[in-house]
């Protein structure tokens, strides 16, 4: 599960990383929580043949997907995440998987390791960021919900998958990361069906993320400054490849 994330890169860095034609200014956000507005990237209108201009655009949506068929949002659960393994066939996400796949730019996400109650150990928060740089793009789904009075709200959820071995020590789920070379294929909902992008919904490589232990300041939504990312210990070591029975190295997704 991904219940908090951060976007502290500059608008210019986000625009360049995601190939956007333009992007309005926004402040760094260190502790983004469900129901808050988040930035997502969608496929824009195609330009004339031969044009080198980007055709992706950024929009603001509410974090917490609301299917269009929901009558009363107060009686529907808040869908901040969607399981990649079942999203294609699940009623809440089926239409979005086919028609409204998006990218969610982030500087990283937070996750909590919660030991068994009988252990007596305290939960530990981790700031999980990409080792390669400042930005990562999560796979997302978008839906527009319309109320009875005609007002509309754009909403979104982040797709998750089983964690790799490293992040699995903290939590069993992690966001799906879409690589830059796969942006176009993921966003292409006109010619690309869900089955054509199923191979993109896998856990990140073992050394893609760095997991840094942080204080419990991040637990409270009101704490929105850089102090929520201050390390309180050493980063989690990258998991070593599992050994097969023949003695060779074998990476495991689970």
The one catalytic residue in 2, 75, 85, 206 is: 2
Strand partners, 194: none
Instruction: Please state, in angstroms and rounded to a whole number, the distance separating the CA atoms of residues 3 and 109.
Output: 8
Question: Helix H segments across 132-254?
Answer: 165-168, 183-187
Residue with token string 């239409």: 95
Is residue 2 part of the annotated active site? The answer reads yes
Concatenated DSSP letters for 130-174? ESS-S-EEEEEEEEEEE-TTS-EEEEEEEEEEE--HHHHTT-SEE
The one catalytic residue in 48, 111, 121, 184 is: 111
Among the listed residues 127, 102, 92, the one whose alpha carbon sits nearest the alpha carbon of residue 39 = 102
The DSSP 8-state label assigned to residue 68 in this structure reads: T
Contact between 228 and 214 (Cβ < 8 Å): yes
Is residue 152 part of the annotated active site? The answer reads no
Residue 247 exposed, middle or buried by CB count within 10 Å (0-12, 13-18, 19+): exposed
Instruction: Please state, in angstroms and rounded to a whole number, the distance separating the CA atoms of residues 92 and 123.
Output: 31
Instruction: Please state, in angstroms and rounded to a whole number, the distance separating the CA atoms of residues 37 and 153.
Output: 11
| Beta-strand pair 242-243/136-146 | unpaired
Residues in the chain: 254
Active site residues: 2, 111
């Amino acid at each position: 599960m991904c219940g908090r994330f951060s976007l502290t890169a500059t608008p210019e860095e986000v625009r360049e990383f995601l190939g956007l034609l333009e992007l309005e200014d926004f402040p760094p956000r260190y502790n983004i929580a469900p129901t808050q507005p988040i930035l997502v990237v969608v496929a824009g209108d195609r330009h004339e043949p031969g044009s080198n201009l980007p055709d992706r655009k950024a929009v603001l949506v509410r974090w917490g997907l609301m299917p269009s068929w929901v009558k009363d949002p107060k009686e529907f659960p808040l869908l901040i995440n969607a399981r990649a393994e079942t999203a294609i066939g699940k009623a809440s996400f089926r239409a979005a998987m086919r028609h409204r796949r998006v990218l969610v730019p982030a500087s990283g996400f937070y996750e909590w390791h919660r030991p068994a109650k009988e252990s007596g150990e305290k939960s530990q928060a981790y700031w999980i960021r990409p080792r390669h740089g400042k930005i990562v793009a999560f796979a997302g789904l978008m839906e527009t919900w319309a109320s009875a009075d005609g007002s509309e709200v754009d909403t979104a959820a982040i797709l998750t998958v089983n964690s790799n071995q490293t992040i699995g020590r903290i939590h069993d789920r992690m966001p799906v990361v879409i690589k830059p070379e796969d942006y176009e294929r993921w966003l292409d909902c006109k010619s690309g069906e869900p089955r054509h992008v199923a191979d993109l919904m896998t856990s990140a490589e073992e050394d893609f993320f760095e997991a840094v232990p942080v204080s419990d300041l991040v637990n409270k939504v009101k704490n929105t400054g850089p102090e929520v990312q201050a390390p309180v210990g050493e980063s989690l070591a990258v998991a070593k490849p599992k050994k097969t029975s023949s003695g060779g190295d074998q990476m495991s997704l689970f």
